[in-house]
Amino acid sequence: MPSDDQEPAPFPRGEMGHAIAAYVRGLIAADYSARTIDASISDLRQFESFLRSRGVERAGEISRVDISDFSAALSDPEGFPTADADLVAPGPSGGQAVHRTRPYTRTTVARKLSVVRGFLRFCEDNGLLDSSPGTGVGSPKLPRRLPQVLTAEQVAWLLEGIDGTKPLELRDRALFELIYSSGLRCQEVLDLRLRDVSFESCEIRAKGKGRKVRVVPVGEVALDALERYLREGRVRLVREHTQQGPEDHVFLSRTGLALSSSDVQRRLARYLAKAGAPAGTSPHTLRHSFATHLLEGGADLRSIQELLGHSSLRTTQVYAHVSAAHLRRAYRRAHPRA
């Protein structure tokens, strides 16, 4: 993968591989996360392979039909056909074997088409296309699912159950308190650096999707847990395990290196079992609970949108539905003739 300071190299008009490489260099220069970049590379390689199977070698040859057929192939109940030398082995007769992956979910199809549309807009902006053939090609309609939310009591049982004094227990209490207190995404809290925390102003600086930075408040309970972790837990992880100089991420693994999302999931599962929380609870459930509890406490949707880092208010409006569901349940429990 090209380094962050590399300028996108000039690429010949219409050569797909060079166009994709230049597009990816643009993502890197814009400071997108490694996970987003890797997913984009995978999706665009798959798109390029699909086009090659149809004899389309240049960006200028891509049609709207190609985009629609790509979407249909991803959703094919029999699976997505692949006949790329890099992905499959030769067939028994010596030619390329056609392999069929399982069909993708509607959410995954929508993500892949979003990446393709972004790439096609890039091609249009750079003169490889007169106009993007992806315009107007819709994504699969996604089912509207209400996010899982814990009650305030369930959150308290979960967080207060993390009460040990070992470095990892102090870290976990601070991490989950911070997610619930500030509504952070899991990756946002893992990306936090020491310089991003301000105890004086009771705020943290979070880098969200698209590397957009926002400043969010932190509650007193979370700040206390974070201060204790930094004072009693983190220093021990750095001193005992880090050999290559101090790591500046706030949350460290048992080896003194930056914590991974898989570590967070694994540790949370342990505390969930202890607290008897509902199945399916995840770090994102704490973020959902943060937003829902704010709304039920009287906060307006626009403020919640800013705190969550949503680019569109439509994304935040799902919490209005969650709150309405909560009110209906409360009504049925409390009213004598409900």
Which of 25, 249, 287, 293 is catalytic? The answer is 287
Which of 49, 35, 47, 51 is closest to 1 using CA atoms? 35
Q: Whole-angstrom Cα distance, residue 157 to residue 278?
A: 12
Q: Which of 185, 207, 288, 293 is catalytic?
A: 185
**Which residues make Cβ contacts (< 8 Å) with residue 278, sequence separation at least 6?**
148, 150, 154
To the query of whether residue 141 is one of the catalytic residues in this protein, the response is: no
Active-site residue identified among 18, 106, 228, 284: 284
The H-or-E segment that residue 72 falls in is helix 64-74
**Active-site position among 25, 171, 173, 310:** 310
321 is an active site residue: no
Q: Is 229 a catalytic residue?
A: no
Catalytic one of 209, 236, 254, 326: 209
| Sheet (strand 197-198) strand order | 197-198, 203-207, 213-217
Instruction: Give 230's DSSP letter.
Output: I
Helix (H) / strand (E) containing 106:
helix 106-125
Given the residues 319, 321, 329, 337, the one annotated as active site = 319
Q: Does 319 qualify as catalytic in the annotation?
A: yes
The verdict on whether 171 is a catalytic residue reads: no
Does 284 qualify as catalytic in the annotation?
yes
The DSSP symbol for 317 reads T
Structure-token pair, residue 265: 């999931």
Catalytic residues: 185, 209, 284, 287, 310, 319
